[in-house]
Amino acid sequence: MNMKPLLLSAALVALTLPALAQNAPELDVMSAEELLPLAKAEGTVTVYAFTSRIAAVEKAFEAAYPGIDMVSHDMSSTEQITRLKAEASAGIASADVVYISDAPVVFKDLLEPGLITRYVPPRVASLLDENEKSPLLAQRLSTKVLMYNEEANPSGAPVKNLWELTTEPWKGRVIMVDPLQRGDYLDLMTELVVRSDDMAQAYQAQFGKAITLDDEIETAGEQFIVDLFKNDLILVSSTDDVNAAVGARGQKNPPVGFTSYSDRRDNEDEGWALQVVNTVVPANGIIFPAVLAISSTAKNAAAARLAIDFLMGDDSSTGGAGFKPFYVAGDYATRSDIVSHPDAVPLADLKAWSIDPSATAKIRQDVSDLVLSLQ
């Protein structure tokens, strides 16, 4: 039997199928009111989200639009990317909306091959900066910054220079999520390398001499990562582990750790005393966009757009029900008409590096290999 031609042609047919994915430009210009009846007909919308706060969004969305069932899946960005790629090669359309950080990988691995599509609700377009709506819609800016325990350090942050973290007093007392498991932490490591000049200056300021690099180490940023790991850096698998380790009340000598500034919102509920270290040179971490996009194979195209519209908040100064879970100290809305949360350091005063996704994408793999070689 000669099966080969048959198999080949079948494979070709199968390959062309995903290209027939729905693309609905007419939906892009509709308002929420115009989308609603179409979305109601679809009846459901599936959201992949990188934050557990999506559960609250789901409730609010279903209250605002009865009859449309939001199915939300809380998955890390790294996992979403792996899943979306696997689902695309399998020709499965599972997600409608993708709510994700890890912009460097998202642009390269999801947007470029066309797995996700940009959508900007028309009503918010004029409220966003150009880089907040292209190449993808940024909903808010999130952080991975150094945090400390304000109960144990009543006189303020215990660290003035990042290089202090590589010295004996901080041995085994710096904690973060494994950068190989979470992309935003790899972005943080990468940013340290991108900002090597700043890191070299800070080294000079801390130790009073110019930095000397180990063999095979080329930049001050890489040297910092090496030294940090040598100082028994503790890696955990989720930001909540970092928050609890750093923030739990009643500790005598708590560690410091890199986590989301916005997790300070849970201080009261969880019994934490998290506070941002904002007095540190050269910076306390990174600030990066959380983006919203539509899966190119979305089955519920109208409901997907309605969900993104909802997630962008209403016209009140705090963003209303859709934005409520994100209107917290430490998260910064991209919409210019939503004001910063009163309890947070205003965006302009936050000493965090704003990442450039495309610059990060270039050296991310090398930094990832460096981190792997240190573990």
Distance, in Å, from the CA atom of 139 to the CA atom of 311, rounded to the nearest integer, reads 8
Out of 180, 217, 281, 363, point to the residue binding another protein (CB under 8 A).
180
- By CB under 8 A, residue 110 contacts another protein: no
CA distance 44 to 70: 6
Among 244, 273, 311, 352, binds another protein (CB under 8 A): 244
What distance in Å separates the CA atoms of residue 301 and residue 30, rounded to the nearest whole number?
Answer: 12
Q: How far is CA 283 from the centre of its chain?
A: 18
Task: Rule CB under 8 A: say whether 210 interacts with another protein.
Answer: no
Cα–Cα–Cα angle for 79, 294, 340, rounded to 5 degrees = 85
DSSP-derived secondary structure letter, 169: G
Among 111, 188, 199, 242, binds another protein (CB under 8 A): 242
> Which residue, chain included where needed, has tokens 């027939």?
20
Q: How far apart are CA 107 and CA 81, in angstroms?
A: 11
Shortest Cβ 262–another protein spacing (Å) = 12
User: What b/e readout covers 275-304, taking b as 16+ CB neighbours within 10 angstroms?
Assistant: bbbbebbbbbbbbbbbbbbbbbbbbbbbbb
| ∠ Cα 184 149 78 (to 5°) | 15
Nearest approach, Cβ of residue 57 and another protein (Å): 11
**Among the listed residues 28, 164, 266, 356, the single contact to another protein using CB under 8 A:** 266
Verify binding: residue 237, another protein, rule CB under 8 A.
Answer: yes
Site for another protein in 5-34 (CB under 8 A): 6-7, 10-11, 14-15
Residue 290 in the binding site for another protein (CB under 8 A): no
Among 79, 151, 164, 314, binds another protein (CB under 8 A): 79
Q: How far is the CB of 94 from another protein (least distance, A)?
A: 5
Q: Which residues pair with 332 in a beta bridge?
A: 141
Residue whose tokens read 């200056």: 201
Site string for another protein, 27-66 (x = CB under 8 A): ---------------------x---xx-xx--x-------
Among 164, 178, 227, 356, binds another protein (CB under 8 A): 178
Tell me which residues touch another protein (CB under 8 A). 6-7, 10-11, 14-15, 48, 52-53, 55-56, 59, 73, 75, 78-79, 81-83, 85-87, 89-92, 94, 109, 175, 178, 180-181, 234-238, 240-246, 248, 255, 266, 269, 368-369, 372-375
